[in-house]
Structure 1
Amino acid sequence: MPIKFGTDGWRDIIAEDFTYQNVRVVARAHAQALRARGGSLVVVGFDTRFQGAGFARVVAEVMAGQGLNVLLAAEYLPTPALSYAVVHHRAAGGVMITASHNPPAYSGYKLKGPYGGSATPEVVAEVERALANPEAWGGPPGTIQPLDIREAYYTALDRQLDLGTLRAYRGTVIHDPMGGAGCGWLTGYARHAGLSLDLRELHGEPTPLFHGVNPEPIPQNLGELTARLWEETGTVLGVVTDGDADRVGAVTAGGRFFNSHQIFAVLLRHLHGRGLRGRVVKTVSGSRVIELLAGRLGLELLETPVGFKYITDAFLEGQADEGKAVLMGGEESGGFSSRGHIPERDGLLNSLLLVEAVAATGKSLDDLFAEIEAEVGFRHHYDRNDLHLSAGFDKDALLAEAREYREVAGHPVEGRKTADGVKLLLAGGASAMFRASGTEPVVRVYVEAQTLEDVRAILTEATRRVLAHDPAHHG
């Protein structure tokens, strides 16, 4: 049975491999692993994908049959709310039925640890062992009770936000939940907190088809939001959450996409300005702006391989040792967490923090980022190519060659980082990173430079070099 766990669980195509039978098998193994750790309570939720409620019900029934007590969501909910519920109810773990930002044909089984974040590799390994060696359960069954976490989660957001600033703000914000689990959650929070801003929702009707796009907050999926903001000026902004609302994106007045690196920088500077301190954790694919800003603010920077699990590890280390506490951690794909919250990506909280940054200063996100560029002395331009290659593609040969590059598009190589793929540090602060998928023939090329022209030239040349290794592109 082709069940493969990644860093955050298992994802597959609905009705092909993501079936009720396979979900039952995984839930049984997960329950066995939780019982072995002494667990007695688990929280189960789902997003807006096809048959989400049905799959979640199957998980709950299997886990109850294995002796665990289950809190089962009665309706779709965001992943960060599910993760918070694990902590709030002191559960041994959690299950979120979601494929996050994947296309509508997919669903998934996310495993959450008792701290409200992605399960550790040790727990995943225990589930995998239980899949291979299932054990019979002869004890009494557990119970299934309804989960209602909305108000408790909203109260947790209250603790992370400057409510005075938000309540005084009268600006306009458009939230695009992309038909996913964020539908109604920001507008609901605005009512809960007594906010007076003009908060509108686009694609606020939950749908397993995500209104015709993949539910990932990247430019090609945000055409309607971009058009809505095209003729706007000033501080009007659009915030976007992905399919399960753990990632965030933004579009500013004039229809300009505000990328994840820019979001990271603005939120970091804003939180620091509120008096919060701690380490800054970024993945290696993140912008040089974050490194420079952390240095300017006097904050220790920790760089990790790509994957939010590494950021979660840093948060957990900081919870155990105050001297290593994390102020903010983030990744290139739009997942961020901050001090005092769960060690989990939270697109809803980060959307509100972006609004708070605008409300506190009266400046647009574009203006706030321009100030950061001036402070650190670096102009940020960025782009990325995801190259889907033939099965005969030799990823190892590409990366071995990339380590030896002396220049890219005429930009001399001044340094290299090889903890995850190959990131070439180029003259003038530019960079080109090559990172191969471990599960499919895909290579991602990330490029940052101080001019758009340099980004285009470097990305074109880097892409050409990747394709030269693909037999399907020879000649």
Structure 2
Amino acid sequence: MKLTFGTDGWRGVIADEFTVANTRRVALAHAQALRAAGGRAAAVAHDTRFLGERFAAVAAGTLQEAGLDVTLLRGATPTPALSFAVKAAGLAGGVMITASHNPAIYQGYKLKGAYGGSATPDLVAEVEARLDAPPIPAPAGTLAETSVQDSYLEAVSGRIDLGAIDRAGVPIYHDAMHGAASGWLETFAGRFLKVPFHGLRNTPSPLFGGVNPEPTPPNLAFTLEAMRAVSGPAFAVVTDGDADRVGAVLSGGRYFNSHQIFAVLLHHLARQGGRGRVIRTVSTSAIIQRLAEHHGLEVVQTPVGFKYVTEAFLEGDADPARAVLIGGEESGGIGVQGWLPERDGLFNGLLLQETIAASGLGLDEQFAAIERLTGMSHHYDRRDLHLSGDLDRGGLRQATAETTSLQGHRVEEVVTLDGVKLVFDGGFGMVRASGTEPVVRLYVEAPSDAEVQAILKQLEGLARRFVR
């Protein structure tokens, strides 16, 4: 069976493509790639998905047999905690058994680099190229089990202004979506903070409560309702299935999207004196561009996938003149200077709490100030088209690129970094076929909610013409 890799590893439906045998194939190829680069040790972890513990044990055993010393992390573990463990111990790489935000029937094998972040495109390509290649003989390595929770939480505590959060007194709400972060923020709050903590969907489950573990409105009905009775600046931080993505639901039951989170964190870091490049994937809001320019910061646009953001962080490590202040993607993956070159939903949730303490304003009030500062009113939505037939990707790409108008807005620029993005004055429309699911994603930003929905309808009609 041919295995197709996506932006940061391999994913498939459990018991169909994602099997024990295929996990061994990928782990063996991964081991050969690490050893060829001089690597000698790796760590393996899993989230709360079905058979995660079993697949993690298979991956760990295969890496060990192929000559690596392996640390297997006990219990459901957030992806950023695995990345932290890899970097802290000086390992060659890591494996996270997770399908992240994908539906519960999926499982995945995420690749992590020695620097504590998403594998670079070169490493992903090398592992894929080594699938089923003859193994290079080597003496078996060692295998040990441990937990990283204590050391990870301790490290996070040293990079968040705990005193400011305590003085502000704003309660912490955390919706773990029944994923790998279940109980982790609760443990952190009990150990390092004095403010009240409220857990939502804070117990692990392989079915994620019947929704996709992605912090977007279709999956947040429970949290939106739970926060309806809450008032003041409090918000619920939402982490996805493996806790690398962050979302937020405000008091009163109001959704606060990933672009708004990105902007608030960028503004907070810049006002604290942070300097460096701002890395934004192609599907993020133009308000990030305007805000960065306001602060005199260079902006770099990349394809979708946090591995491209990670590459920028690594460039900054090698050359301080290219340091990155913050990098993020539309799906809620954000990395910040001074932490890991990695998405971290838990860390970013606490950093959002810090922004409230530092500014005295709720997240919505902070974002309203950013809109005034940039002269831009942000209206955005995304629609995922789940396809039942085959997609003519080439035809869809060409037809989208040839579109000259979106609901009366003249297309001024066509960006083909990843998918096709049609830029107009005051917004954009973008069409991108997923690399890991049978899904076409539509992204729209426009001057009003009504225009957003009208453009989404136009793009959906275009996309469905190319489903056979």
Above 0.5 in TM-score? yes
Stretch deviating more after TM superposition (452-461 or 119-128): 119-128
Identify the residue that residue 140 of structure 2 maps to in structure 1.
Answer: 141
Identify the residue that residue 59 of structure 1 maps to in structure 2.
Answer: 59
Q: Distance in 1 between matches of 2:208 and 2:300?
A: 36
TM-score, normalisation: structure 2? 0.96
Question: How big is the shift at 1:247?
Answer: 0.3
Stretch deviating more after TM superposition (161-170 or 103-112): 161-170
**Relative to 1, partners in 2 of residues 1:298 and 1:343: Cα closer, same or farther, differing over 3 Å?**
same
Secondary structure of the residue aligned to 1:385 is strand
Question: How big is the shift at 1:57?
Answer: 1.4
Gapped runs of 5+ residues in structure 2?
none
Amino acid at match of 1:307: G
Where do residues 115-194 of structure 1 align in structure 2 (5 Å cutoff)? Answer: 115-137=115-137, 139-193=138-192
**Relative to 1, partners in 2 of residues 1:43 and 1:417: Cα closer, same or farther, differing over 3 Å?**
same
**Relative to 1, partners in 2 of residues 1:104 and 1:296: Cα closer, same or farther, differing over 3 Å?**
same
Where do residues 376-455 of structure 1 align in structure 2 (5 Å cutoff)? Answer: 376-389=374-387, 391-427=389-425, 429-438=426-435, 442-455=439-452
Where do residues 182-261 of structure 1 align in structure 2 (5 Å cutoff)? Answer: 182-193=181-192, 195-261=193-259
Q: Distance in 1 between matches of 2:466 and 2:54?
A: 44
Q: 1:277 aligns with which of 275, 278, 283?
A: 275
Q: Distance in 2 between matches of 1:331 and 1:461?
A: 24
Between the aligned residues of both structures, percent identity stands at 53
Question: How big is the shift at 1:440?
Answer: 5.9
Secondary structure of the residue aligned to 2:368 is helix
Q: Is the 8 A contact 2:32 2:136 kept in 1?
A: no
Question: How big is the shift at 1:54?
Answer: 1.5
Question: How big is the shift at 1:295?
Answer: 0.7
Secondary structure of the residue aligned to 1:396 is helix
Q: CA deviation digits over 1:261-315, x for unaligned, max 9? A: 0000001001112221111000111001101100111111011111111111100
Q: 1:342 aligns with which of 340, 343, 353?
A: 340
Stretch deviating more after TM superposition (386-395 or 307-316): 386-395
Amino acid at match of 1:190: A
Question: How big is the shift at 1:451?
Answer: 1.3
Identify the residue that residue 17 of structure 1 maps to in structure 2.
Answer: 17
Secondary structure of the residue aligned to 1:175 is strand
**Relative to 1, partners in 2 of residues 1:28 and 1:167: Cα closer, same or farther, differing over 3 Å?**
same
Identify the residue that residue 464 of structure 2 maps to in structure 1.
Answer: 467
**Relative to 1, partners in 2 of residues 1:60 and 1:441: Cα closer, same or farther, differing over 3 Å?**
closer
Question: How big is the shift at 1:453?
Answer: 1.6
Q: Distance in 2 between matches of 1:274 and 1:365?
A: 17
Q: Which runs of 4+ in 1 moved over 4 A?
A: 438-441
Amino acid at match of 1:444: R
Secondary structure of the residue aligned to 2:430 is strand
Q: CA deviation digits over 1:154-213, x for unaligned, max 9? A: 2321333122212323112210101110011111112332x1111111111111111221
Secondary structure of the residue aligned to 1:425 is strand
Secondary structure of the residue aligned to 2:177 is coil
Secondary structure of the residue aligned to 2:115 is coil
Amino acid at match of 1:211: G
Amino acid at match of 2:161: D
CA RMSD of aligned residues (A): 1.6
Identify the residue that residue 40 of structure 1 maps to in structure 2.
Answer: 40
Question: How big is the shift at 1:372?
Answer: 0.5
Question: How big is the shift at 1:124?
Answer: 2.4
**Relative to 1, partners in 2 of residues 1:165 and 1:128: Cα closer, same or farther, differing over 3 Å?**
same
Q: Is the 8 A contact 1:32 1:135 kept in 2?
A: yes
- Counting matched residue pairs gives 468
Question: How big is the shift at 1:316?
Answer: 0.4
Secondary structure of the residue aligned to 2:158 is helix
Q: Distance in 2 between matches of 1:14 and 1:390?
A: 19
Gapped runs of 5+ residues in structure 1?
none
Question: How big is the shift at 1:439?
Answer: 6.2
